Amino acid sequence: MKDEQNNHKTHKNQYIPTAEFYSQVIDSLQDYSIFTVDTDLVINSWNSGATKIFQYEADEIIGQKFEIIFTEEDQKKGAPAHEIEIALKEGRAIDNKWHICKDGSKFYAYGLVFPLLGINGEMLGYVKILRDLTERKKSEDSIARYVKELEELNTHKESVLAILSHDLRSPLAGIISTAEYLKLNYDKMKPSLVKEMIDLLHKSTKEELNMLDYLVEWARIKYAADVFTPTKIKLADYVKKVFDTLNENASIKTINLHHEVHENTSVFADGKMLLSILQNIVSNALKHTGAGGNIVVTTKKKEDKIIVEIKDTGIGMTKEIQEKLFTPQAVSLTKAREDDKGAGIGLLLVKGFLEKNGGEIWVESVVGKGSSFYFTLPIEKPLTVIENLKKIDDHLA
């Protein structure tokens, strides 16, 4: 027993870890960004893991302010100072958030900050440890989106059934009644009344066919993924196609169709869907814009997306209508048809197409002054393809 104790003491005295030893251990942790800041929140040490993740070499980053790694949004919110405040108050601060690399790209990380104290308890600064969780975050977000899509499918199925039972069935009942009246009373009716009723039948059946076309398209984007073929396409060409189709209607109402889309502006999207998106929004703008009005299409780039604005000088919308504009439950298609304002489901179709293409849509409007519909589309093919989705498909099949 005595010999073992002596051996233990001997081994203990043989090597005492130095500051350089601990520095080498920290520097070897390639999957972790570990660095320190002084009491003025200036970076004063930087491990090789931090270089790997953030792309900054030590001599580039040392001397920079702590906030350099935070997104512009978090800087405005005062996130760097808030982390330090929590660390001082509670002994450490933990967060999961996006950070900025040297090239401007973002990564999602688990972060830990704690005070760095000297031998005598004096404040030396702070230690920040980060671990890159970007891929895990993308997987979680993609799975969450997929689950949301599954939930929405049920809502859409119910909406389609409601439309079929109410907005198609009711008008069809009217068509049948009118046709039956003609069949029974044709011989004793005035020719002018017969013509009027036949015109009514023609108009009603055309509207029903249009409605069915919308429903088929709407169902197609939700249930038939095989028809989705996105490619890199020039946006201006598709805007021109839609303008060419609608120019006659615009001329009748003396409405000016104008676009300021640069010829080189490209998006990554399904061409047929993009055509339908533009056609629906511009058609709606025409219906709601009075004689002598203007409809203008413009674009601007934001990060990896193109934002398209379709602005009209029409009648505008109330806040209540804007909030319900893209919800199936709130669309009264029968009333919309009676007012000659379109099928309403067209905007649901647009929303579905945009979501399929990785975009979104929103509206800004003022009653009496017009509306601006905005939508986004990616510029390049999205890089993220999550294999977990296939696993979920197999599990649900």
Q: Digits of tens for pLDDT over the chain (397 positions)? A: 555 555 545 444 554 444 444 445 444 555 678 888 898 999 988 888 888 888 899 889 899 998 898 988 889 989 889 998 998 889 888 888 888 888 888 888 888 888 888 878 888 888 888 888 877 777 777 667 766 766 666 666 666 666 666 556 667 778 888 899 899 998 899 999 999 889 888 888 877 777 677 667 666 655 555 567 899 999 999 999 999 988 888 998 999 999 999 999 999 999 988 988 998 899 889 989 999 999 999 999 998 999 999 999 999 988 888 887 877 544 444 344 344 444 456 787 788 889 888 999 999 999 999 999 999 999 998 754 334 444 444 444 4
Type and span of the H or E element at 295:
strand 294-302
The pLDDT of residue 245 is 86
Give the single-character DSSP code of 112. E
- β-sheet with 43-46: strand ranges across: 43-46, 32-37, 123-132, 106-117, 93-100
* Range list of H helices, the chain: 2-14, 19-27, 48-54, 58-61, 72-77, 79-90, 134-162, 169-185, 191-223, 235-252, 271-288, 319-324, 333-338, 345-356, 388-396
The pLDDT of residue 324 is 79
Tell me which residue of 128, 105, 138, 133 sits closest to 31, measured CA to CA: 133
Q: What's the rounded Cα separation, in Å, for the pair 230 and 272?
A: 9
Say what the pTM is: 0.50
Range 79-87 contact pairs with CB under 8 angstroms and sequence separation of 24 or more = 80/41, 81/41, 83/111, 83/113, 84/41, 84/113, 84/126, 86/113, 87/113, 87/114, 87/115, 87/126
Output the six-digit token pair for 346: 């067209």
CATH value of 2-132 in 3.30.450.20, 3.20.20.450, 3.40.1260.10, 3.40.50.2000? 3.30.450.20
Are the C-beta atoms of residues 278 and 390 closer than 8 Å to each other? no
| CATH 3.30.565.10 is held by the domain 138-378 | yes
Give the single-character DSSP code of 255. P
Tell me which residue of 309, 234, 292, 222 sits closest to 266, measured CA to CA: 234
Give the single-character DSSP code of 166. I
The pLDDT of residue 349 is 77
Q: What's the rounded Cα separation, in Å, for the pair 347 and 307?
A: 17
**Domain residue limits, the chain:** 2-132, 138-378
